């Protein structure tokens, strides 16, 4: 018995009858004809004016809400419960104060007012910093896209938005100058590279100096002190201060929420960065064995603490910057490591 | 008596100096501080202008804003650059001052076509690392050698790997079609009248080779714009003008070219004499040119004038493609380790550049690079096989135009403003779009492209600014950037 045919016989088809397949491309406009243009109809342009400011690109919603919805509900309900409890207690306190004496009542009321008022302002202040960090991340994402696609003409709108964002920060002057020097012949990627290299040069140098200073201090603190554990905690606290300083340099309002957000992001990067980060940081001298033979274990600990601070600082620089670093302008860990070794050897040599 | 003085009494001073110079060059080469840059390109592709612009920018690089993508200059690590001609070489110096003078004159003019070999060496003193990264200051010196030569001579290099029979066969293919077939009718007729096995009459050879030279000039003329002109010395003899070395020609009219035919020809016949002259030319002219200058390059820049092919049509395109493939065969490519750098350097990085990028609008540069990729496709594939890094770029050594905008037919159009070459009258135009795929036959014939030549810019106006060139700094960074790290 013949099997029912499970495969399709080859068939000749008429191409004109086909549907679908290649998407119908709209008739390509015929290429522009070359032509001469009378001189009075022509006006020169500088680079950044070639396009009017376009409405900001609709940012794609990348991540859906993290975590399950039950977590959110739990958090909200716990928060509501706690605030309700606190609110009831405060109300009772106020009532008691008014019952005892009217001045006590008004005093408590004023105190509560101040507490809530300053709390709200502080919260808004720190949320502003978070908002700025998020905007920096968005700008960085867009810059990376522009670098990858070798287009022409989109960078002007991006630069206009960037200028508006940095209007009242110390970066504003350098940014404006860099944009005015951009050449008309650059494509988008080159414009981004140029502005990234020139507008933030002063900030990058200052931030690098700060990172070096903090690293050296951390290394010396841990390497020399007799209570290394306590001093490591101290180093942890100092790293948070480092984050604040670097954020302030790049125009992000420093605050607690900024610190924690940055720290979370940086630890995440360092933990999951992968091979490139390791080769970037390892340093041949460490692996070569010369270090272990010539310095003591304590100094090695100090070096480790200093390097952690340095890595945190460099990552913070990258996170606060609105554009990624150019390939050859990336701040290097090698120089800091060299400096740490020199300092530690000097101090270790004195006390050993 | 110190050793060097004693040696000097035994050997002449010049030899000692030359030996010392060579030793120093060898050490520098080994230590990676000496680069010989090959600026390759067919005639009229912009080699002389490029070298002039490069030297000009480098000599002012210690305090310039014009090289933002050249990281050594951008980080202000260059302390100074000067012209440092090596002692004891026979090559005349590159006429940098004259070229610059012509460009700065009123009215300005492009430098004339190169007709002889010349060399320039720059010594660049720089700091190896940024100021933040070290405690003591240290400086290094880097030497850059550039050689300028007529582009026509490049086309002789492929002859080194061909015998006379091979060359005749190649010319048989070339003369069989297109413009060459049309224009060479009379010459081929005269050639057919000669019996190749008869004893050679030198007068006849001289006459025929003169006519062949005239034919080559005709092929090269801008109205025909062919690029594969062999032998190159015929059209640009330099100091060999009138010499008997330049009196031979190919035999494109024979039906076939077996090796025996050439061996069995009687002594003193036309075939033998022509073959002998061809071999003499190869050994005495081409091989020496190659050995003295071409076998020791480290980095290469290939300049291609894409706009010429777009203006002139398909035959010009295919001819240029073939010419460039042939030329690039002759260079030594591959990885260059320490020992190799001393004894047999090889080119490990090649930059393909489309010159005259200022003759198209800025949004066409990407298309220009893609079009350049079409021309060099075959050659680039072979280089990749050898593990050589390649890159395409559209650049302009001296920017002769400004970007401008105009509203035409209600549409905003970006266009160029500049001065016409020759007449120096101001002109604004939209030159047309550069295609990214090979244009069809119809496209070549229509009036789709009109790329005109512009007069050189006023250099002094834009000196020290990035707008004096297009992507010269990126070319420098690609070719030399890693040597300055």
For the cut 90, the answer to whether the pLDDT of residue A261 exceeds it is no
Per-residue confidence (pLDDT) for residue B130, from 0 to 100: 56
Q: Model confidence over B352-374: pLDDT tens digits?
A: 999 999 998 888 899 899 999 98
Closest CA to B363 of B400, B403, B396, B401: B403
Given CB atoms, is B255 within the 8 Å cutoff of chain A? no
Classify A165 in phi/psi space as left (phi over 0), alpha (psi -120 to 50) or beta.
alpha
- With a CB-CB cutoff of 8 Å, which residues 389-418 of chain B face chain A? 399, 402-408, 413-415, 417
For the cut 70, the answer to whether the pLDDT of residue B131 exceeds it is no
CB-closest option in B362, B414, B450 to A34:
B450
Per-residue exposure over B335-355, b if at least 16 CB sit within 10 Å of its own CB, e if not: ebeeeebeeebbbbbbbbbbb
Q: Model confidence over B85-99: pLDDT tens digits?
A: 877 677 888 899 999
Closest CA to B448 of B317, B322, B307: B307
State the virtual CA torsion across B270, B276, B278, B281 in degrees, nearest 10.
-140
Residue with the bigger pLDDT between B168 and B295: it is: B168
Per-residue confidence (pLDDT) for residue B31, from 0 to 100: 65
Given CB atoms, is B342 within the 8 Å cutoff of chain A? no
| Residues B219, B330: Cα–Cα separation, whole Å | 24
Q: What is the mean pLDDT of residues B334-358?
A: 76
Alpha helices in B362-452 (DSSP H): 365-375, 377-385, 441-445
ipTM: 0.77
Using an 8 Å CB-CB cutoff, list chain B residues near A36: 427-429
Task: Judge: A187–B133 Cβ closer than 8 Å, yes or no.
Answer: no
Q: What is the DSSP letter of B281?
A: I
Given CB atoms, is B74 within the 8 Å cutoff of chain A? yes
Task: Judge: A152–B362 Cβ closer than 8 Å, yes or no.
Answer: yes
Q: Quote the tokens at residue A154.
A: 């989109």
Using an 8 Å CB-CB cutoff, list chain B residues near A183: 466-467, 470
Around B230, how many Cα atoms within 13 Å sit in the side-chain half-sphere? Answer: 31
CB-closest option in B405, B435, B481 to A43:
B405
Contacts of A159 (CB under 8 A, 6+ apart): A48, A179, A182, A191, A195
Q: Model confidence over A104-131: pLDDT tens digits?
A: 889 989 999 999 999 999 888 888 888 8
Using an 8 Å CB-CB cutoff, list chain B residues near A194: 68-69
CB-CB contact of B221 with B229 (8 Å): no
Q: Model confidence over A54-93: pLDDT tens digits?
A: 333 444 444 455 568 899 999 999 999 999 999 999 999 9
């Amino acid at each position: 018995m013949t099997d029912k045919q499970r495969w399709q016989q080859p068939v000749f088809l008429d191409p004109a009858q086909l549907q679908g397949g290649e998407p119908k491309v709209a008739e390509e406009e015929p290429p522009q004809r070359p032509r001469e243009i009378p001189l009075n109809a022509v006006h020169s342009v500088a680079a950044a004016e070639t396009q009017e400011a376009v409405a900001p690109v609709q940012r794609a919603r990348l991540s859906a809400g993290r975590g399950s919805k039950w977590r959110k509900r739990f958090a909200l309900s716990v928060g509501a419960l706690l605030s309700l409890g606190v609110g009831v207690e405060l109300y009772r306190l106020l009532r008691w104060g008014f019952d005892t004496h009217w001045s006590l009542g008004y005093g408590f009321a004023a105190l509560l007012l101040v507490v809530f008022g300053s709390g709200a302002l502080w919260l808004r202040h720190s949320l502003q910093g978070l908002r700025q960090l998020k905007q920096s991340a968005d700008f960085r994402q867009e810059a990376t896209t522009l670098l990858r696609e070798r287009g022409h003409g989109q960078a002007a709108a991006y630069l206009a938005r960037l200028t508006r964002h940095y209007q009242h920060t110390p970066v504003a002057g350098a940014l404006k100058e860099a944009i005015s020097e951009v050449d008309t012949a650059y494509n988008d990627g080159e414009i981004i590279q140029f502005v990234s290299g020139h507008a933030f040069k002063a900030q990058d140098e200052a931030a690098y100096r700060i990172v070096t200073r903090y690293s050296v201090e951390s290394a010396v603190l841990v390497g020399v002190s007799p209570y290394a554990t306590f001093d490591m905690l101290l180093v942890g606290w100092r790293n948070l201060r480092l984050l604040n300083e670097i954020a302030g340099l790049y125009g992000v309002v420093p605050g607690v929420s900024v610190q924690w957000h940055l720290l979370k992001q940086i630890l995440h990067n360092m933990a999951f960065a992968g091979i490139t980060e390791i080769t970037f940081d390892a340093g041949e001298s460490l692996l070569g064995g010369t270090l272990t033979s010539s310095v003591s274990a304590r100094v090695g600990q100090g070096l480790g603490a200093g390097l952690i601070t340095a890595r945190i600082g460099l990552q913070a620089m990258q996170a606060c910057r609105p554009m990624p670093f150019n390939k050859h302008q990336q701040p290097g860990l090698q120089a800091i490591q060299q400096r740490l070794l020199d300092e530690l050897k000097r101090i270790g040599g004195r006390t050993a | 008596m110190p050793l060097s003085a004693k040696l000097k009494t035994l050997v002449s001073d010049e030899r000692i100096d030359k030996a010392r110079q060579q030793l120093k060059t060898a050490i520098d080469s080994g230590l990676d501080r000496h680069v010989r840059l090959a600026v390759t390109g067919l005639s009229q592709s912009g080699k002389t202008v490029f070298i002039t612009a490069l030297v000009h920018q480098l000599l002012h690089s210690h305090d310039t804003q014009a090289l933002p993508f050249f990281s050594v200059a951008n980080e202000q690590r260059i302390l100074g650059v000067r012209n440092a001609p090596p002692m004891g070489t026979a090559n005349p110096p590159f006429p940098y001052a004259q070229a610059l003078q012509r460009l700065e004159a009123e009215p300005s003019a492009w430098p004339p076509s190169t007709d002889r070999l010349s060399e320039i060496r720059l010594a660049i003193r720089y700091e190896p690392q940024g100021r933040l990264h070290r405690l003591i200051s240290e400086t290094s010196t880097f030497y850059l050698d550039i050689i300028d030569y007529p582009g026509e001579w490049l086309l002789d290099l492929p002859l080194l790997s061909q015998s006379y029979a091979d060359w005749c066969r190649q010319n048989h293919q070339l003369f069989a079609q297109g413009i060459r077939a049309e224009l060479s009718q009379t010459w081929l007729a005269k050639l057919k009248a000669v019996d190749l096995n008869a004893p050679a009459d030198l007068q006849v050879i001289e006459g025929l080779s003169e006519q062949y030279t005239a034919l080559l000039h005709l092929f090269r003329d801008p109205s025909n714009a062919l690029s594969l002109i062999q032998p190159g010395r015929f059209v640009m003899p330099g100091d060999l003008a009138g010499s008997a070395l330049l009196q031979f020609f190919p035999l494109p009219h024979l039906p076939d070219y077996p090796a025996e035919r050439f061996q069995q020809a009687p002594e003193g016949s036309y075939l033998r004499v022509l073959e002998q002259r061809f071999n003499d030319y190869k050994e005495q002219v081409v091989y020496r040119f190659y050995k003295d200058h071409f076998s020791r390059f480290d980095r290469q820049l290939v300049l291609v004038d894409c706009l010429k092919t777009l203006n002139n049509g398909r035959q010009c395109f295919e001819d240029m493609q073939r010419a460039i493939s042939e030329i690039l065969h002759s260079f030594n490519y591959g990885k260059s380790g320490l020992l190799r750098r001393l004894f047999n350097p090889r080119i490990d990085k090649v930059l393909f550049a489309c010159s005259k990028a200022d003759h198209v609008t800025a949004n066409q540069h990407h298309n220009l690079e893609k079009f350049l990729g079409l021309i060099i496709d075959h050659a680039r594939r072979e280089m990749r096989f050898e593990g050589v890094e390649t890159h395409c770029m559209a650049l302009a050594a001296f920017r002769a135009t400004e970007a401008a905008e105009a509203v035409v037919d209600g549409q905003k159009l970006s266009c160029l403003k500049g001065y016409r070459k020759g007449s120096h009258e101001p002109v604004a135009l939209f030159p047309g779009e550069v295609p990214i795929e090979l244009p069809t036959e119809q496209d070549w014939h229509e009036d789709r492209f009109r790329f005109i030549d512009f007069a050189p810019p006023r250099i002094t106006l834009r000196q020290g600014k990035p707008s004096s060139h297009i992507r010269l700094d990126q070319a420098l960074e690609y070719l030399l950037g890693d040597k300055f790290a």
